[in-house]
Amino acid sequence: MRLRHSTLMPQVALAPAVAITFVAFIGSILWTVYLSFTRSRRFPEYAIDTENLFRQYGRLFGDDAFITSLKNLVILGLGSTLAIGFGFILACLIDRERRGQGFFRTVFLYPLAISLIVTGVAWRWLFDPQLGMQAALHDWGLTWVRLDWLARSETAMYGIILASVWQGAGFYMALMLAGLKSINDEIWKAARLDGIGVWQFYTRIVIPMMKFTFLTCAILMSLGVVKAYDIVVAMTNGGPGQSTFVPAYFTINAYWQKSNLGYASAAATIMLLITLAFFLPMVIFAARRRRRAEESVT
């Protein structure tokens, strides 16, 4: 009886959290997908559009703003990989310099303590032609420099990428530093004795051993890129024109500006599919590699 009681109580304690998660998370997803097949406008209409079931999706992929948001999603995703690269480089530098580790970890992690809204506003000021970096460089005589990136549609996304990398590099540095600490010191000593160069040591030994750390960073980065919204609002509000639309911004804009809940639900469903396309293969790959590693040990 005591054994049964000890195993039953944790399940009872977790039951409310599981129920809330199921209703609030899975229920909301199913509700959103369902509304994408309706003609809901400002308020939901629960009658499915049987005459044209994929009406909202057809409109969606015929919308130039949505196509632009998908292109920007790819650009933002590729650009955000720089944060992982810089994070790894910073982690390697900090790991090799023992004396100031605590100081440099704090310095590089500080941007993570700032919300994306504050980060976006700060970088919007920096890119302001009248007040920011361009104005300062022009005052120093470098009048040929142009840093009005947010004012031009062809460069605005690169400004958002730069701000995102600045904030996220410290987070990935912390993850990479934890991965570097997990490497046995004997491996470092053996590499030095064998005369292996620094570049070869990191590319042929360290990086392959940290593949799961890189995979974790890639998963977290992918999720952050797909749901990117607040930094776009703070820096460009989707402009100039519609040049910095991303799927999350497009989805919210479709409801608040166009008053079309069915249309916004279709865009949100596409976001879900994009997330699954990025997330599931990585999780499956990681699970298989971990299982093989466990089997090889046993």
Any idea where the domains of the chain sit in the sequence?
Answer: 64-297
Q: Give me 69's structure tokens.
A: 């948001």
What pLDDT was estimated at residue 297?
Answer: 60
What pLDDT was estimated at residue 163?
Answer: 93
Q: Give me 110's structure tokens.
A: 């500080």
What pLDDT was estimated at residue 24?
Answer: 82
Binned average pLDDT, 10 residues per bin, the chain of 298 residues: 61 80 85 89 82 87 92 93 92 78 79 87 90 86 86 92 92 89 78 76 84 86 88 91 92 86 91 83 74 68
Q: If 0-12 CB within 10 Å is exposed, 13-18 middle and 19+ buried, where does residue 75 land?
A: middle
User: Cα–Cα distance between 254 and 37 in angstroms, integer?
Assistant: 15
Q: Are 160 and 172 in contact (CB under 8 A)?
A: no
User: What fold does the segment set 64-297 form as a domain?
Assistant: MetI-like fold (1.10.3720)
What pLDDT was estimated at residue 86?
Answer: 93
- What crossing angle do the helices spanning 211-226 and 156-181 adopt, rounded to 10°? 150
Task: Please calculate the CA angle 242-86-92 and round it to the nearest 5 degrees.
Answer: 170
49: left (phi over 0), alpha (psi -120 to 50) or beta: beta
